[in-house]
Structure 1
Amino acid sequence: MTTPAPAAGLPALPVTFRPTRTRVVLLGTGFALLGVLTVMSFMLQTLTTGDRITFICTGLLGLAVLALLSRPKVVATEDGVTVTNLTTTRHLAWAQIVRVNLRSGDSWVHLDLSDGTSLPAMGIQTGIAKQQAIADARALRSLVDAHGTGRSET
């Protein structure tokens, strides 16, 4: 079965939306924290082996938390949309998404679903790159309009 060409103005599927700059900052900070704590643990001569292990484990814990914070993404495929937030992943069929919202003051996109609930999609967030988030939200709205039965509002 051949995949139809994307309509004009629509991104080609599959497409992944994620806050790339935020991810780079978080992971860079996490690795820097781990590096600094590891180097400090070996440079301080008065530390015992247990103290050194504690320093390194603290760096690893910091890296793990920052890696968790860098996890969110939204992946749109022919089958639907997969929303990965901090600790959860949810796959939605196109028809389940009624509306894509990114209102002024929102930290990230919210998807209004056909069952009456709203799902935050933290993969499109306004943090560091607000204009990119707006462009990504518009692209996802266009995809929902083209593939689903939803309606989108600003």
Structure 2
Amino acid sequence: MHIQQELDEELNNLFDTIRKKSSIRPPIEIEKNLTLIDDFALKCSKFRGCLVDYIQENDNRLSLRLRNRLRAVDIMQKEIVSCLECFLSGDIKSAYDSFESMLEPRTISRHIENICIPLSDLCNEDKPLFRVRKSDTPLTSRRDMFHIPFSQRHFVRA
């Protein structure tokens, strides 16, 4: 059990380091002049850089495990890009199905809570979160205000 506690502590330290990177700390915003997918790829590269830095700077069980899982990180990035492409093209079911299958392996689902933050940290009664679209003409109906065409989903930041 002592080994597992050490690994958990090392993992928490790694996640603390990653959370300190402002460009990959939630809420994440798309950088100007980048598409959603290009921005995601850039942030993945920064995340992967954090992992590589940790591996190079530490000689412990976690760094060994990370070294063995870098390929899995690359595969996850590729699968998420595929999900985004499906979603943005309007094939939402395929996007959700592929995302769900990507998260099934125990190595991923076991630590997913470490990279998530509660939605209440992003929005609550004092700080509501809305998803609306911008228009060049007056919006006269509720549908006009809240309907986001699939071709413009990448503009939505919620």
TM-score tier after normalising by the smaller chain length: 0.3 to 0.5
- Between structures 1 and 2, the one with greater strand share: 1
Rg bigger for which structure?
A: 1
TM-score (norm 1): 0.35
- Between structures 1 and 2, the one with greater helix share: 2
